[in-house]
Structures are given as structure tokens and as C-alpha cells.
Structure 1
Amino acid sequence: MGDLGSLREKVDAVDDQILRDIVQRVKICRLIGELKKQQGKPVHDIHREAEVFSRVRERAELLKLDPVIVERIYHEIVNMCSSVQE
């Protein structure tokens, strides 16, 4: 099983990867924002956001995670990504 310290190091490594993935998502969203501006499209796309939330709820259920909590997390991520597009 491992000792507490080594397990915490593994959790820290996973947290670091999550943050790197969020940074990558933000970078992609900035590019999307630039394209939206060029095309005269609004930052917020309610239909796309609904698709994202639906997809993550479904994935959460398949992965045995609480879909409500996962959706809340994604609301924050989507809000952050929307703010970099403005």
C-alpha cells in the first residue's frame, strides 16, 4: 500500500498534472476566443456549455464519481476559460 508520505507525493503529482491540464485548456480557450472575435461570435455559447456539462456528467458516472460535484468543478473551469476569451 505505501506509507502516508509516499501516497501524498502521488496525490501531489496528480494535482500538478491537473494544473498542467487546466493551463493547456486555458491556452486552447484563448485561441478559441481569438477565432470567435475574428468571426464576430459571442464568447458564451450556451449550447456548447450544455454539451460540456452533459459530457462530463456522463463521464463522471462511468468513472464512479459524483456527477453533481464534477459538474460544479467544470462550471468553475468553464467560467475561467470564458473570462480569458473576453
Structure 2
Amino acid sequence: MEDIAVLREKVDAVDDQILRDLVQRVKICRAIGELKKQQGKPVHDIHRETEVLKRVRERAEMLKLDPDKIERIYREIVNMCSSVQQ
């Protein structure tokens, strides 16, 4: 059995990966925002937001995670990414 310190290091590594992935998501969303500006499209796309939230809820259920909690997390991520498109 691993000790708590080793397991915490693994959690820290996962957290670091989550942050790197969020940075990548923000970069992609900025690029999308630039394209939306060039094409005269609005930043906020409720249809896409609904699709994203539906998809992550379904994935959460498949992965035995609480879909309500995952949706709350993703709402914050979507809001953060929308703000960088402004």
C-alpha cells in the first residue's frame, strides 16, 4: 500500500495536468474568439454551451462521477473561456 505522501504527489501531478489542459483550452478559445470577431459572430453561443454541458454530463455518468458537480465545474470553465473571447 502506498503512503499518503506518495498519493498526494500523484494528486499534485494530476492537478498540474488539469491546469495545463485548461491553459490549452483557453488558448483554443481565444483563437475561436478571434475567428468569431472576423466573421462577425457573437461571442456567446448558447447552442454550443448546451452541447458541451450535455456531453460532459453524459461522460461524467459513464465515468461514475456526479454529473451535477461536473456540470457546475464546466459552467465555470465555459464562463472563463467565454470571457477570454471578449
Normalised to the residue count of structure 1, the TM-score between the two structures is: 0.99
Question: Hey, what does 2:26 align to over in structure 1?
Answer: 26
User: Which residue of 2 is the match for residue 37 of structure 1?
Assistant: 37
Report the counterpart of residue 4 of structure 1 in structure 2.
4
Where does residue 72 of structure 1 map in the other structure? 72
Q: Deviations over 1:49-83 (max 9, x none)?
A: 00000000000000000000000000000000000
C-alpha separation between the residues in 2 aligned to 1:46 and 1:36?
14
Question: 2:51 is paired with a residue of what secondary structure?
Answer: helix
Deviation for aligned residue 1:47: 0.2
Runs of 5+ consecutive residues of structure 2 not aligned to the other structure: none
Counterpart residue type for residue 4 of structure 1? I
How far apart are 1:11 and its partner, in Å?
A: 0.1
Between the aligned residues of both structures, percent identity stands at 83
Give the whole-Å Cα distance in 2 for the aligned partners of 1:59 and 1:74: 12
Q: TM-score, normalised by structure 2?
A: 0.99
Show the 5 A alignment for 1:46-61.
46-61=46-61
Corresponding letter in the other structure for 2:60:
A
